[in-house]
Amino acid sequence: MRRRKFLSLAAASLATPALNISRAWAAEPGAPLPIPEVMEIGPGAGNTLDAIRGTREFTGGATSETWGYSQDYLGPLLRFRRGRTANISVMNRLDEPITAHWHGMHVPGYLDGGPQLAFGPGETWAPELPVDHPAATLFYHSHVHGRTGPQVYRGLAGMIVIDDPEIDDPLPHDYGVNDFPLIVQDRRFDRSGRMIYSLGMMDRMHGFQGDQILVNGVIRPKLTVPAGLVRLRILNASNARVYDFRFTDGRQFHQVASDGGLLARPLAMASLQLDGAERAEIVVEFSDRSPVSLVSRDIGMNGVMNGGMMGDRGGSMMMGDRGMMGDRGMMGMDGNSGAPLEIMSFDVGEAAPAGPTRLPTSLPSDAPALGDPVRRRNFTLNMHTGGMMRGGGQTMGINGAPYVMDRIDETVRAGETELWRINADMMMRHTFHVHGTSFRVVSQNGRPVDSAQIGWKDVVRVQGPTEILLRFDKLASEETPFMYHCHILEHEDAGMMGQFTVT
Ligand code: C2O
Ligand code: CU
Ligand code: CU
Protein backbone atom coordinates (compact mmCIF):
# COMPACT_ATOMS: atom_id res chain seq x y z
CA MET A 1 0.00 0.00 0.00
CA ARG A 2 1.24 3.42 -0.85
CA ARG A 3 0.55 6.24 1.46
CA ARG A 4 -0.76 9.43 0.02
CA LYS A 5 2.16 11.78 0.06
CA PHE A 6 0.49 15.03 0.87
CA LEU A 7 1.31 17.46 3.59
CA SER A 8 -1.65 19.09 5.16
CA LEU A 9 -1.33 22.75 5.87
CA ALA A 10 -1.49 23.40 9.59
CA ALA A 11 -2.56 26.96 10.14
CA ALA A 12 -4.81 28.71 12.56
CA SER A 13 -8.39 28.46 11.50
CA LEU A 14 -11.14 30.91 12.24
CA ALA A 15 -14.82 30.20 12.41
CA THR A 16 -16.34 30.17 8.95
CA PRO A 17 -19.57 31.96 8.28
CA ALA A 18 -21.79 30.27 5.76
CA LEU A 19 -20.72 30.99 2.23
CA ASN A 20 -23.09 33.12 0.40
CA ILE A 21 -23.02 31.53 -3.00
CA SER A 22 -25.17 28.98 -4.64
CA ARG A 23 -23.57 25.76 -5.66
CA ALA A 24 -24.24 23.88 -8.79
CA TRP A 25 -24.29 20.60 -6.90
CA ALA A 26 -24.99 19.30 -3.46
CA ALA A 27 -22.45 20.80 -1.15
CA GLU A 28 -19.86 18.62 0.50
CA PRO A 29 -17.81 19.82 3.41
CA GLY A 30 -14.62 21.41 2.15
CA ALA A 31 -11.69 19.13 2.88
CA PRO A 32 -8.37 20.90 3.38
CA LEU A 33 -6.53 21.68 0.17
CA PRO A 34 -3.74 19.12 -0.19
CA ILE A 35 -0.38 20.77 -0.74
CA PRO A 36 1.66 18.61 -3.11
CA GLU A 37 4.93 17.27 -1.83
CA VAL A 38 7.92 19.07 -3.33
CA MET A 39 10.58 17.20 -5.25
CA GLU A 40 13.71 19.31 -5.75
CA ILE A 41 15.29 18.22 -8.99
CA GLY A 42 19.01 18.78 -9.18
CA PRO A 43 21.99 16.91 -10.61
CA GLY A 44 22.65 13.29 -9.74
CA ALA A 45 20.59 10.23 -9.09
CA GLY A 46 17.73 9.85 -6.72
CA ASN A 47 14.86 11.79 -8.22
CA THR A 48 12.40 9.20 -9.41
CA LEU A 49 8.85 9.54 -10.58
CA ASP A 50 7.02 6.24 -10.60
CA ALA A 51 3.97 6.18 -12.81
CA ILE A 52 1.67 3.97 -10.75
CA ARG A 53 -1.91 2.95 -10.23
CA GLY A 54 -3.75 4.23 -7.22
CA THR A 55 -7.20 4.64 -5.82
CA ARG A 56 -8.98 7.71 -4.59
CA GLU A 57 -12.26 8.48 -2.92
CA PHE A 58 -13.28 11.70 -4.57
CA THR A 59 -16.93 11.80 -3.67
CA GLY A 60 -19.77 9.71 -2.29
CA GLY A 61 -17.43 7.19 -0.66
CA ALA A 62 -16.85 5.37 -3.95
CA THR A 63 -13.35 4.29 -4.90
CA SER A 64 -12.00 5.45 -8.25
CA GLU A 65 -9.06 3.89 -10.01
CA THR A 66 -6.50 6.57 -10.65
CA TRP A 67 -2.97 6.98 -11.91
CA GLY A 68 -0.25 9.22 -10.64
CA TYR A 69 3.44 9.99 -10.70
CA SER A 70 4.62 8.57 -7.33
CA GLN A 71 1.19 9.31 -5.90
CA ASP A 72 -2.30 7.92 -6.19
CA TYR A 73 -3.36 10.80 -8.35
CA LEU A 74 -1.30 13.62 -9.95
CA GLY A 75 2.36 13.96 -8.99
CA PRO A 76 4.65 15.90 -6.68
CA LEU A 77 5.51 19.53 -7.39
CA LEU A 78 8.80 19.45 -9.26
CA ARG A 79 11.15 22.32 -8.42
CA PHE A 80 13.95 23.11 -10.81
CA ARG A 81 16.57 25.77 -10.47
CA ARG A 82 17.65 27.82 -13.46
CA GLY A 83 21.25 27.22 -14.42
CA ARG A 84 21.42 23.83 -12.74
CA THR A 85 21.30 20.45 -14.42
CA ALA A 86 18.34 18.33 -13.42
CA ASN A 87 18.34 14.55 -13.50
CA ILE A 88 15.05 12.79 -13.18
CA SER A 89 14.06 9.25 -13.91
CA VAL A 90 10.56 8.28 -14.74
CA MET A 91 9.56 4.65 -14.26
CA ASN A 92 6.53 3.22 -16.03
CA ARG A 93 4.75 0.84 -13.66
CA LEU A 94 1.52 0.96 -15.65
CA ASP A 95 0.49 -1.37 -18.43
CA GLU A 96 0.58 0.99 -21.38
CA PRO A 97 3.17 3.40 -22.81
CA ILE A 98 3.42 6.83 -21.22
CA THR A 99 5.64 9.90 -21.47
CA ALA A 100 6.63 12.75 -19.17
CA HIS A 101 6.42 16.02 -21.09
CA TRP A 102 7.81 19.17 -19.45
CA HIS A 103 5.15 21.49 -20.79
CA GLY A 104 6.50 25.02 -21.23
CA MET A 105 10.11 24.21 -20.44
CA HIS A 106 12.75 25.20 -22.96
CA VAL A 107 14.57 21.95 -23.60
CA PRO A 108 15.68 20.29 -26.85
CA GLY A 109 13.35 17.85 -28.58
CA TYR A 110 15.06 14.70 -27.32
CA LEU A 111 14.39 15.77 -23.72
CA ASP A 112 10.90 17.18 -24.26
CA GLY A 113 8.82 14.07 -23.49
CA GLY A 114 6.58 14.36 -26.53
CA PRO A 115 4.81 11.44 -28.22
CA GLN A 116 8.01 10.15 -29.87
CA LEU A 117 9.50 9.58 -26.43
CA ALA A 118 6.90 7.13 -25.20
CA PHE A 119 8.26 4.33 -23.06
CA GLY A 120 6.51 1.09 -22.26
CA PRO A 121 5.58 -0.85 -19.13
CA GLY A 122 8.62 -1.71 -17.04
CA GLU A 123 10.76 0.86 -18.81
CA THR A 124 12.46 3.91 -17.36
CA TRP A 125 13.18 7.22 -19.08
CA ALA A 126 15.95 9.20 -17.43
CA PRO A 127 16.56 12.55 -19.12
CA GLU A 128 19.17 15.02 -17.95
CA LEU A 129 17.63 18.46 -18.31
CA PRO A 130 19.71 21.59 -18.59
CA VAL A 131 17.43 24.08 -16.87
CA ASP A 132 17.53 27.25 -18.91
CA HIS A 133 14.22 28.86 -18.20
CA PRO A 134 13.17 31.98 -16.28
CA ALA A 135 11.31 31.61 -13.01
CA ALA A 136 7.89 30.25 -13.93
CA THR A 137 5.05 27.89 -13.15
CA LEU A 138 4.94 25.05 -15.67
CA PHE A 139 3.12 21.78 -16.17
CA TYR A 140 4.11 18.19 -16.69
CA HIS A 141 1.96 15.46 -18.09
CA SER A 142 1.91 12.34 -20.20
CA HIS A 143 1.74 12.93 -23.95
CA VAL A 144 1.20 9.66 -25.77
CA HIS A 145 -0.45 10.20 -29.11
CA GLY A 146 -4.14 9.30 -28.97
CA ARG A 147 -3.99 8.67 -25.22
CA THR A 148 -3.15 12.05 -23.72
CA GLY A 149 -6.78 12.81 -22.80
CA PRO A 150 -7.45 9.62 -20.82
CA GLN A 151 -3.96 9.50 -19.27
CA VAL A 152 -4.02 13.06 -17.98
CA TYR A 153 -7.60 12.57 -16.83
CA ARG A 154 -6.59 9.52 -14.79
CA GLY A 155 -3.93 11.63 -13.09
CA LEU A 156 -0.65 11.68 -15.01
CA ALA A 157 -0.02 15.38 -14.51
CA GLY A 158 1.58 17.79 -12.07
CA MET A 159 3.06 21.23 -11.58
CA ILE A 160 6.61 22.42 -12.15
CA VAL A 161 8.06 25.51 -10.49
CA ILE A 162 11.27 26.99 -11.82
CA ASP A 163 13.27 29.16 -9.46
CA ASP A 164 15.80 31.65 -10.71
CA PRO A 165 18.62 32.17 -8.18
CA GLU A 166 19.68 35.29 -10.08
CA ILE A 167 16.55 37.20 -9.18
CA ASP A 168 15.37 38.43 -5.85
CA ASP A 169 11.76 37.29 -5.83
CA PRO A 170 9.78 40.27 -4.48
CA LEU A 171 6.55 38.26 -4.24
CA PRO A 172 5.36 35.84 -1.55
CA HIS A 173 7.38 32.67 -2.09
CA ASP A 174 7.16 30.62 1.07
CA TYR A 175 5.74 27.36 -0.29
CA GLY A 176 2.69 26.13 1.58
CA VAL A 177 2.67 29.27 3.74
CA ASN A 178 1.97 32.20 1.42
CA ASP A 179 2.66 30.58 -1.96
CA PHE A 180 0.27 27.82 -3.07
CA PRO A 181 -0.12 25.65 -6.15
CA LEU A 182 -3.69 25.28 -7.41
CA ILE A 183 -4.07 22.54 -9.99
CA VAL A 184 -7.61 22.99 -11.26
CA GLN A 185 -9.41 20.16 -13.04
CA ASP A 186 -12.97 19.13 -13.75
CA ARG A 187 -14.07 15.53 -13.50
CA ARG A 188 -17.21 13.55 -14.13
CA PHE A 189 -18.51 10.95 -11.68
CA ASP A 190 -21.15 8.27 -12.01
CA ARG A 191 -24.02 8.05 -9.56
CA SER A 192 -22.00 6.10 -7.04
CA GLY A 193 -19.19 8.66 -7.14
CA ARG A 194 -16.76 6.78 -9.37
CA MET A 195 -14.73 8.95 -11.75
CA ILE A 196 -15.61 8.30 -15.38
CA TYR A 197 -14.17 9.09 -18.79
CA SER A 198 -15.95 7.92 -21.88
CA LEU A 199 -16.40 10.01 -24.96
CA GLY A 200 -19.79 10.69 -26.41
CA MET A 201 -20.24 12.68 -29.56
CA MET A 202 -20.41 16.00 -27.72
CA ASP A 203 -17.29 15.17 -25.71
CA ARG A 204 -15.35 14.48 -28.87
CA MET A 205 -16.52 17.71 -30.35
CA HIS A 206 -16.07 20.06 -27.41
CA GLY A 207 -13.61 18.13 -25.30
CA PHE A 208 -14.44 16.19 -22.18
CA GLN A 209 -15.87 18.28 -19.36
CA GLY A 210 -16.76 17.26 -15.85
CA ASP A 211 -19.29 18.78 -13.53
CA GLN A 212 -17.19 18.67 -10.38
CA ILE A 213 -14.17 20.90 -9.92
CA LEU A 214 -11.09 19.55 -8.19
CA VAL A 215 -8.15 21.52 -6.86
CA ASN A 216 -5.03 19.46 -6.20
CA GLY A 217 -7.21 16.38 -6.55
CA VAL A 218 -9.93 17.31 -4.06
CA ILE A 219 -13.43 18.55 -4.80
CA ARG A 220 -14.00 22.14 -3.64
CA PRO A 221 -11.33 22.17 -0.90
CA LYS A 222 -10.72 24.81 1.71
CA LEU A 223 -7.44 26.58 2.33
CA THR A 224 -6.49 28.62 5.37
CA VAL A 225 -4.27 31.48 4.26
CA PRO A 226 -2.35 34.05 6.29
CA ALA A 227 -3.80 37.53 6.70
CA GLY A 228 -1.69 39.27 4.10
CA LEU A 229 -0.46 38.86 0.55
CA VAL A 230 -0.78 35.36 -0.85
CA ARG A 231 0.49 34.05 -4.14
CA LEU A 232 -1.62 31.48 -5.97
CA ARG A 233 -0.07 29.57 -8.87
CA ILE A 234 -3.05 28.48 -10.91
CA LEU A 235 -2.74 25.76 -13.52
CA ASN A 236 -5.73 24.81 -15.63
CA ALA A 237 -4.96 21.10 -15.93
CA SER A 238 -8.43 20.26 -17.24
CA ASN A 239 -8.85 18.37 -20.49
CA ALA A 240 -11.06 21.03 -22.03
CA ARG A 241 -12.81 23.27 -19.54
CA VAL A 242 -12.25 27.03 -19.61
CA TYR A 243 -12.42 28.93 -16.32
CA ASP A 244 -13.24 32.52 -15.64
CA PHE A 245 -11.98 32.90 -12.09
CA ARG A 246 -13.20 35.52 -9.68
CA PHE A 247 -13.78 35.89 -5.95
CA THR A 248 -17.29 35.84 -4.49
CA ASP A 249 -16.86 39.31 -3.00
CA GLY A 250 -15.62 40.73 -6.29
CA ARG A 251 -12.26 41.68 -4.79
CA GLN A 252 -9.43 42.78 -7.01
CA PHE A 253 -6.26 40.78 -7.27
CA HIS A 254 -3.08 41.09 -9.30
CA GLN A 255 -1.75 38.81 -11.96
CA VAL A 256 2.03 38.62 -11.68
CA ALA A 257 2.97 35.83 -14.08
CA SER A 258 1.62 34.00 -17.08
CA ASP A 259 2.71 30.75 -18.76
CA GLY A 260 6.37 31.53 -19.28
CA GLY A 261 7.21 33.66 -16.25
CA LEU A 262 6.74 36.99 -14.55
CA LEU A 263 4.93 39.89 -16.18
CA ALA A 264 6.67 43.25 -16.38
CA ARG A 265 4.43 44.58 -13.63
CA PRO A 266 1.50 43.37 -11.53
CA LEU A 267 -1.77 43.69 -13.39
CA ALA A 268 -4.92 44.48 -11.40
CA MET A 269 -8.05 42.56 -12.31
CA ALA A 270 -11.24 41.17 -10.86
CA SER A 271 -11.56 38.13 -13.14
CA LEU A 272 -9.13 35.91 -14.94
CA GLN A 273 -9.81 33.56 -17.78
CA LEU A 274 -7.67 30.44 -18.29
CA ASP A 275 -8.02 27.94 -21.10
CA GLY A 276 -6.62 24.41 -20.85
CA ALA A 277 -2.91 24.26 -19.89
CA GLU A 278 -2.66 28.01 -19.31
CA ARG A 279 -1.08 29.16 -16.06
CA ALA A 280 -1.32 32.38 -14.11
CA GLU A 281 0.23 33.43 -10.86
CA ILE A 282 -1.89 35.86 -8.92
CA VAL A 283 -1.34 37.71 -5.66
CA VAL A 284 -4.35 38.20 -3.44
CA GLU A 285 -4.64 40.45 -0.40
CA PHE A 286 -6.26 38.66 2.56
CA SER A 287 -5.45 41.14 5.32
CA ASP A 288 -9.11 42.09 5.70
CA ARG A 289 -9.57 38.57 7.10
CA SER A 290 -12.88 37.91 5.47
CA PRO A 291 -13.42 34.38 4.23
CA VAL A 292 -14.11 34.22 0.53
CA SER A 293 -14.49 31.68 -2.24
CA LEU A 294 -12.87 31.36 -5.61
CA VAL A 295 -15.51 30.67 -8.25
CA SER A 296 -15.74 30.48 -11.99
CA ARG A 297 -18.45 31.75 -14.21
CA ASP A 298 -19.81 28.63 -15.88
CA ILE A 299 -18.60 29.11 -19.41
CA GLY A 300 -19.62 25.59 -20.30
CA MET A 301 -20.07 24.74 -23.94
CA ASN A 302 -20.81 28.30 -24.89
CA GLY A 303 -17.23 29.16 -24.09
CA VAL A 304 -15.98 26.30 -26.16
CA MET A 305 -18.09 27.52 -29.00
CA ASN A 306 -16.80 30.71 -30.45
CA GLY A 307 -18.70 32.72 -27.94
CA GLY A 308 -18.38 34.98 -24.93
CA MET A 309 -15.11 36.68 -24.23
CA MET A 310 -15.61 38.19 -20.83
CA GLY A 311 -12.69 39.13 -18.69
CA ASP A 312 -10.68 39.24 -21.83
CA ARG A 313 -7.64 41.39 -22.32
CA GLY A 314 -6.93 40.65 -25.90
CA GLY A 315 -9.71 42.32 -27.79
CA SER A 316 -13.28 41.24 -28.08
CA MET A 317 -15.27 39.12 -30.43
CA MET A 318 -16.55 40.05 -33.81
CA MET A 319 -19.96 38.75 -32.86
CA GLY A 320 -20.34 40.40 -29.54
CA ASP A 321 -20.18 39.17 -26.07
CA ARG A 322 -22.45 36.21 -26.23
CA GLY A 323 -21.35 34.85 -29.55
CA MET A 324 -23.37 34.33 -32.66
CA MET A 325 -25.44 31.56 -31.13
CA GLY A 326 -27.08 33.94 -28.75
CA ASP A 327 -27.86 33.35 -25.14
CA ARG A 328 -28.21 29.66 -25.08
CA GLY A 329 -25.49 28.67 -27.45
CA MET A 330 -25.82 26.14 -30.20
CA MET A 331 -27.61 22.86 -29.59
CA GLY A 332 -29.41 24.15 -26.54
CA MET A 333 -26.31 24.25 -24.37
CA ASP A 334 -26.83 26.71 -21.64
CA GLY A 335 -23.37 28.03 -21.25
CA ASN A 336 -23.77 31.08 -19.12
CA SER A 337 -26.36 30.13 -16.61
CA GLY A 338 -26.87 31.48 -13.14
CA ALA A 339 -24.77 30.01 -10.41
CA PRO A 340 -21.02 30.24 -10.60
CA LEU A 341 -19.07 27.02 -10.07
CA GLU A 342 -17.32 26.99 -6.76
CA ILE A 343 -13.65 26.17 -7.11
CA MET A 344 -12.50 26.39 -3.50
CA SER A 345 -12.88 28.46 -0.35
CA PHE A 346 -10.48 30.44 1.80
CA ASP A 347 -10.34 31.03 5.53
CA VAL A 348 -7.98 33.60 6.88
CA GLY A 349 -5.73 32.87 9.84
CA GLU A 350 -2.95 34.88 11.48
CA ALA A 351 -0.60 37.04 9.47
CA ALA A 352 2.42 35.18 8.13
CA PRO A 353 5.54 35.80 10.24
CA ALA A 354 7.50 36.86 7.18
CA GLY A 355 6.90 37.79 3.59
CA PRO A 356 6.24 40.93 1.61
CA THR A 357 3.38 43.12 2.72
CA ARG A 358 3.20 45.21 -0.43
CA LEU A 359 3.28 44.44 -4.11
CA PRO A 360 6.22 45.86 -6.05
CA THR A 361 5.36 48.16 -8.94
CA SER A 362 7.60 46.32 -11.36
CA LEU A 363 8.73 42.71 -11.56
CA PRO A 364 12.06 41.16 -12.56
CA SER A 365 10.66 39.66 -15.73
CA ASP A 366 12.90 38.17 -18.32
CA ALA A 367 12.09 39.77 -21.65
CA PRO A 368 14.48 39.25 -24.54
CA ALA A 369 13.41 41.21 -27.62
CA LEU A 370 12.30 39.05 -30.52
CA GLY A 371 12.71 41.57 -33.32
CA ASP A 372 10.85 41.47 -36.62
CA PRO A 373 9.77 38.17 -38.13
CA VAL A 374 11.74 36.78 -41.07
CA ARG A 375 9.16 34.12 -41.87
CA ARG A 376 5.43 33.62 -41.62
CA ARG A 377 3.46 30.42 -41.28
CA ASN A 378 -0.27 29.78 -41.27
CA PHE A 379 -2.06 27.12 -39.30
CA THR A 380 -5.72 26.26 -39.65
CA LEU A 381 -7.25 24.04 -36.99
CA ASN A 382 -9.63 21.57 -38.62
CA MET A 383 -12.58 19.96 -36.87
CA HIS A 384 -12.83 17.36 -39.65
CA THR A 385 -10.24 15.93 -41.96
CA GLY A 386 -12.47 13.30 -43.52
CA GLY A 387 -11.21 10.24 -41.67
CA MET A 388 -12.48 8.12 -38.82
CA MET A 389 -10.57 7.38 -35.63
CA ARG A 390 -9.96 3.81 -34.64
CA GLY A 391 -11.88 4.18 -31.39
CA GLY A 392 -14.77 6.06 -33.03
CA GLY A 393 -15.24 9.69 -33.91
CA GLN A 394 -13.82 11.72 -36.75
CA THR A 395 -10.22 12.72 -37.21
CA MET A 396 -9.32 16.35 -36.65
CA GLY A 397 -6.21 18.03 -37.91
CA ILE A 398 -4.18 21.08 -38.74
CA ASN A 399 -3.81 22.42 -42.27
CA GLY A 400 -6.00 19.65 -43.62
CA ALA A 401 -4.25 16.62 -42.18
CA PRO A 402 -4.44 14.73 -38.90
CA TYR A 403 -1.24 14.22 -36.94
CA VAL A 404 0.98 11.43 -38.18
CA MET A 405 4.00 10.48 -36.17
CA ASP A 406 6.33 9.92 -39.08
CA ARG A 407 5.54 13.08 -41.03
CA ILE A 408 7.40 16.31 -40.29
CA ASP A 409 5.02 19.19 -40.97
CA GLU A 410 7.32 22.19 -40.65
CA THR A 411 11.03 22.84 -40.53
CA VAL A 412 12.18 25.82 -38.52
CA ARG A 413 15.60 27.42 -38.29
CA ALA A 414 16.96 28.12 -34.85
CA GLY A 415 17.44 31.76 -33.94
CA GLU A 416 15.01 33.17 -36.54
CA THR A 417 11.97 35.08 -35.40
CA GLU A 418 8.72 33.94 -37.00
CA LEU A 419 5.14 35.09 -37.07
CA TRP A 420 2.58 32.30 -36.86
CA ARG A 421 -1.03 32.95 -37.71
CA ILE A 422 -3.52 30.48 -36.30
CA ASN A 423 -7.08 30.17 -37.42
CA ALA A 424 -9.91 27.67 -37.10
CA ASP A 425 -12.15 26.29 -39.81
CA MET A 426 -15.31 26.39 -37.71
CA MET A 427 -16.77 28.70 -35.12
CA MET A 428 -15.26 26.76 -32.27
CA ARG A 429 -13.00 27.83 -29.50
CA HIS A 430 -9.58 26.15 -29.41
CA THR A 431 -6.15 26.72 -27.98
CA PHE A 432 -2.75 26.54 -29.63
CA HIS A 433 0.29 25.27 -27.76
CA VAL A 434 3.85 25.19 -29.04
CA HIS A 435 6.67 23.11 -27.60
CA GLY A 436 10.25 24.21 -27.16
CA THR A 437 9.86 27.95 -26.61
CA SER A 438 7.67 30.72 -25.22
CA PHE A 439 5.96 33.20 -27.50
CA ARG A 440 4.40 36.64 -27.56
CA VAL A 441 0.79 37.12 -28.62
CA VAL A 442 0.68 39.85 -31.24
CA SER A 443 -2.98 40.03 -32.13
CA GLN A 444 -6.28 38.30 -31.55
CA ASN A 445 -9.15 38.76 -33.97
CA GLY A 446 -7.22 41.33 -35.90
CA ARG A 447 -6.77 43.53 -32.87
CA PRO A 448 -3.32 44.18 -31.50
CA VAL A 449 -2.61 42.78 -28.07
CA ASP A 450 -0.44 44.40 -25.45
CA SER A 451 2.00 41.54 -25.04
CA ALA A 452 3.55 43.17 -21.97
CA GLN A 453 0.25 42.53 -20.23
CA ILE A 454 -0.07 38.99 -21.45
CA GLY A 455 3.57 38.06 -20.91
CA TRP A 456 5.37 34.99 -22.20
CA LYS A 457 2.95 32.35 -23.35
CA ASP A 458 3.08 28.80 -24.57
CA VAL A 459 -0.67 28.27 -24.94
CA VAL A 460 -3.05 30.81 -26.40
CA ARG A 461 -6.78 30.80 -26.86
CA VAL A 462 -7.83 30.71 -30.50
CA GLN A 463 -11.18 32.32 -30.99
CA GLY A 464 -10.65 33.99 -34.32
CA PRO A 465 -7.36 34.69 -36.13
CA THR A 466 -4.50 34.73 -33.65
CA GLU A 467 -0.94 35.85 -34.35
CA ILE A 468 2.07 34.91 -32.28
CA LEU A 469 5.71 35.91 -32.53
CA LEU A 470 8.28 33.30 -31.62
CA ARG A 471 11.86 32.17 -31.93
CA PHE A 472 13.41 28.81 -31.17
CA ASP A 473 16.78 28.37 -29.56
CA LYS A 474 16.46 24.70 -28.64
CA LEU A 475 16.93 22.12 -31.38
CA ALA A 476 14.61 19.31 -32.37
CA SER A 477 15.44 16.54 -34.84
CA GLU A 478 13.25 14.41 -37.09
CA GLU A 479 13.39 11.59 -34.52
CA THR A 480 12.26 13.82 -31.68
CA PRO A 481 10.52 16.86 -33.17
CA PHE A 482 8.55 19.50 -31.26
CA MET A 483 4.74 19.53 -31.31
CA TYR A 484 2.17 22.22 -31.85
CA HIS A 485 -1.42 21.40 -31.08
CA CYS A 486 -4.76 22.32 -29.64
CA HIS A 487 -4.62 21.71 -25.87
CA ILE A 488 -8.22 20.53 -25.72
CA LEU A 489 -6.93 17.02 -25.12
CA GLU A 490 -9.70 15.26 -27.05
CA HIS A 491 -8.92 17.44 -30.09
CA GLU A 492 -5.22 16.70 -29.74
CA ASP A 493 -5.92 12.97 -29.47
CA ALA A 494 -8.14 13.16 -32.56
CA GLY A 495 -5.20 14.53 -34.54
CA MET A 496 -5.29 18.31 -34.09
CA MET A 497 -1.53 18.35 -33.78
CA GLY A 498 1.52 18.79 -35.97
CA GLN A 499 5.25 18.53 -35.48
CA PHE A 500 8.35 20.39 -36.57
CA THR A 501 12.09 20.26 -36.46
CA VAL A 502 14.39 23.05 -35.36
CA THR A 503 17.83 22.98 -36.96
CU1 C2O B 1 0.82 20.28 -22.50
CU2 C2O B 1 2.11 19.19 -26.15
O3 C2O B 1 1.50 19.67 -24.29
CU1 CU C 1 3.81 21.15 -24.16
CU1 CU D 1 -9.32 22.34 -30.42
Read off the CATH number of the domain in which 470 is found.
2.60.40.420
Ligand 2 centre to CA of 49 (Å) is 19
Query: Do 195 and 12 touch, CB atoms closer than 8 A?
Result: no
pLDDT for the residue 367 = 73
pLDDT for the residue 300 = 60
Predicted confidence (pLDDT) per residue in 443-466, tens digit: 998 899 998 889 999 999 999 999
Residue 34 β-bridge partners? 8
ipTM entry = 0.99
**Number of domains, the chain:** 3
Predicted confidence (pLDDT) per residue in 354-408, tens digit: 889 999 999 998 777 899 999 999 999 999 999 998 888 999 999 999 999 999 9
In a domain, 173, yes or no: no
- 142 and 23 inside one domain: yes
Ligand 3 centre to CA of 77 (Å) is 28
Last residue of a domain, one of 163, 198, 214: 163
> How far apart, in whole angstroms, are the C-alpha atoms of residue 449 and residue 460?
12
Residues with CB under 6 A from ligand 1: 101, 103, 139, 141, 143, 277, 433, 435, 483, 485, 487
- 107 and 256 inside one domain: no
- 294 and 415 inside one domain: no
Predicted confidence (pLDDT) per residue in 83-111, tens digit: 999 999 999 999 999 999 999 999 999 99
- 434 and 335 inside one domain: no
How many residues in total does the chain contain?
503
Query: Do 158 and 119 touch, CB atoms closer than 8 A?
Result: no
Q: Is the pLDDT of residue 303 over 90?
A: no
Number of Cβ within a 10 Å radius of residue 22:
11
- 206 and 114 inside one domain: no
- 337 and 290 inside one domain: yes
**Which atom of ligand 1 is least distant from the CA of 483?**
2
Last residue of a domain, one of 137, 163, 189: 163
> How far apart, in whole angstroms, are the C-alpha atoms of residue 301 and residue 334?
7
- 340 and 238 inside one domain: yes
- 106 and 34 inside one domain: yes
In a domain, 355, yes or no: no
In a domain, 141, yes or no: yes
End-to-end alpha carbon distance in the chain: 47
In a domain, 360, yes or no: no
User: What's the domain range around 207?
Assistant: 179-348
pTM for the predicted model, two decimal places:
0.89
In a domain, 330, yes or no: yes
Last residue of a domain, one of 136, 163, 190: 163
In a domain, 174, yes or no: no
- 249 and 308 inside one domain: yes
